[in-house]
Amino acid sequence: MSSQSSGSGRRRINMQQYSAEDEALNIISKEAEDRLAAKRAARSEAREIRLKEIEKQLNESDRVNEHTNEHAASKGSQSGSRHDSVESSDTDIKDTDFKKRSHKLAELRELEMKYRVAMMSSAQLDNEKQSLVYQ
């Protein structure tokens, strides 16, 4: 009978070891889930910020387009009337400045678009990496 009681004692020790291991694994998995949730929240916040920036840029580009259209319309209406040489040279300077500025804005928009694409790709790769690590 003593062999049976020692055998059952071992089982209890093993059960305690298993429960301790299970508890440790539960704690580890809970911490990992918390880290994943924090990363997801950060990604979600970054996504919202990017969307707000995109909306802001679209509004800005709409304003620039409206300004360009108004400028072209006013230039077309002025072409029928006569101007002094001083006024025409002044408008030529303004036109060149405007063209340079629009060109710089176009370059800026292009670079911002490339940056957004790179950020999206980076976020997507990070998501894929995390899903593979989680599996």
Q: Which H, E and C letters describe 60-110, residue by residue? A: HHHHHHHHHHHHHHHHHHHCCCCCCHHHHHHHHHHHHHHHHHHHHHHHHHH
Using alpha carbons, select from 132, 134, 128, 126 the residue that is nearest to residue 46: 126
What total number of domains does the chain contain?
Answer: 1
The residue behind tokens 């539960």 is 26
Range of the domain at 119: 2-134
| Residue 89 confidence (pLDDT) | 61
The residue behind tokens 């059952």 is 8
| Residue 4 confidence (pLDDT) | 47
| Residue 84 confidence (pLDDT) | 52
- The model carries a pTM of 0.39
| Residue 58 confidence (pLDDT) | 82
| Residue 109 confidence (pLDDT) | 87
| Residue 1 confidence (pLDDT) | 46
| Residue 27 confidence (pLDDT) | 94
Segments of the chain with pLDDT less than 70: 1-17, 71-92
